Amino acid sequence: MSRHFIIDCDTAEDDVLSLISLLAHGISVHALTVVEGNIEYENEMKGALWALEYLRENGVQIGDLKVYPGARRLLSKDFRTAEFVHGETGLGEIEVNVKDYSLLAKEDASSEIIRLSKEYEGSLEFLAISPLTNLALAYLRDPEITKRIKTVYIMGGTIYARGNITPVAEFNFWVDPDAAKLVLNAGFNIVMVPWEVAVNNAIDMVSFMKLTSLKTKLSSLYAKMYSHYRKASMNMQRMRGNPHPDVITTAIAIDPSIAKVIKEENVDVETCDCQSRGLTIIDYIDPGHVITKKPNAKIVYDIDYEKFVQFLTKVLTWF
Ligand SMILES: [Ca+2]
């Protein structure tokens, strides 16, 4: 049975590789909805358009897949972009020249999310590898959408408050904590991949050498696209290599067996405009305790690293 996805992205390298991963597995992607986040919004739009052009030029059938412009501002707060992590274009050494603006949809993101949730009612899967503003807007316009979307996969938040934009907050939840709070408490069927999972499974030197020497077009794209991110992650964030927060989330959506530890728990977000803005609060206390809240998400605590590297190898040998 074919699977139907929307990718909601703030286009940088890991968003693009997530798109490639879904298509490489023969999954139907019906919309790329763009939201403010990693880099300047115009550059995110260009990155998404470039990615579709690149795939089409390499013989990939993209059907009627288009880029849908989404939220340029947050529900209530100010934020900052993260070019210091992803570079100006978000795509490392790739030259992002957009030639074909016909891949830019006329409809806006939240309208298209609502429309597709009706067209593929009960089977639509939503990959949120970005701040959650677009989905929050769709939910505010049509709260019944929670019943029509099969699963929402969220890259966001933390397990132990190991942040990446502030000491305690992960970027996607920090950017729009109000949207994250709305989505988490709306009643969607949620699978959440927190930031520490990406940190603990960052691509080490051995795997990086393996992935960049596959002698395929996608392997050389990988080397170029992740150059900036890898350096920033290792130098600034003291990781062993480039992390794959978005692609891990995508990999689990495609193959749930890549997740090693999953727990159903209640998760919420701090929405104050203060030091702890965007802090993720997971209620880990055993059910039955008097203050325990009902689970609202399946939270991924760890993945099988070797299996994930095999997944990446398969994707990068697609062409
Ligand atoms: Ca992203």
* pLDDT attached to residue 77: 87
Ligand 1 centroid vs 247 CA: distance in angstroms? 9
Ligand 1 centroid vs 43 CA: distance in angstroms? 13
pLDDT tens-digit series, residues 242-271: 999 999 999 999 999 999 999 999 999 999
Ligand 1 centroid vs 11 CA: distance in angstroms? 6
The answer to whether 313 touches 210, Cβ cutoff 8 Å, is yes
* pLDDT attached to residue 288: 62
Q: How far apart are CA 136 and CA 142, in angstroms?
A: 10
Q: Residue 169's domain spans which residues? A: 4-316
Give the alpha-carbon dihedral of 132, 135, 141, 145, to 10 degrees.
Answer: -140
Which CATH number covers residue 177?
A: 3.90.245.10
The answer to whether 79 touches 130, Cβ cutoff 8 Å, is no
pLDDT tens-digit series, residues 131-182: 999 999 999 999 999 999 999 999 999 999 999 999 999 999 999 999 999 9
Total domains in the fold of the chain? 1
Ligand 1 centroid vs 263 CA: distance in angstroms? 23
* pLDDT attached to residue 100: 86
Neighbours of ion ligand 1 (CB under 5 A): 10, 15, 129-130, 246
Cβ-based neighbours of 302, under 8 Å, separated by 6 or more: 197, 200, 201, 259, 260, 261
Ligand 1 centroid vs 140 CA: distance in angstroms? 22
* pLDDT attached to residue 287: 64
**Residue 141 DSSP SS3:** helix
Q: How far apart are CA 211 and CA 189, in angstroms?
A: 33
Ligand 1 centroid vs 45 CA: distance in angstroms? 13
* pLDDT attached to residue 66: 98
What's the average pLDDT block by block, 10 residues per block, for the chain (319 residues)?
94 98 98 96 97 97 96 89 90 92 97 98 98 98 98 98 95 97 98 98 97 98 96 93 98 98 96 96 77 90 98 98
Ligand 1 centroid vs 10 CA: distance in angstroms? 5
Ligand 1 centroid vs 129 CA: distance in angstroms? 4
Strand order in the sheet with 280-283: 67-69, 28-34, 4-9, 124-129, 149-155, 190-193, 297-303, 259-269, 280-283
* pLDDT attached to residue 70: 97
Ligand 1 centroid vs 9 CA: distance in angstroms? 5
Ligand 1 centroid vs 46 CA: distance in angstroms? 14
Q: Which amino acid is at 67?
A: V
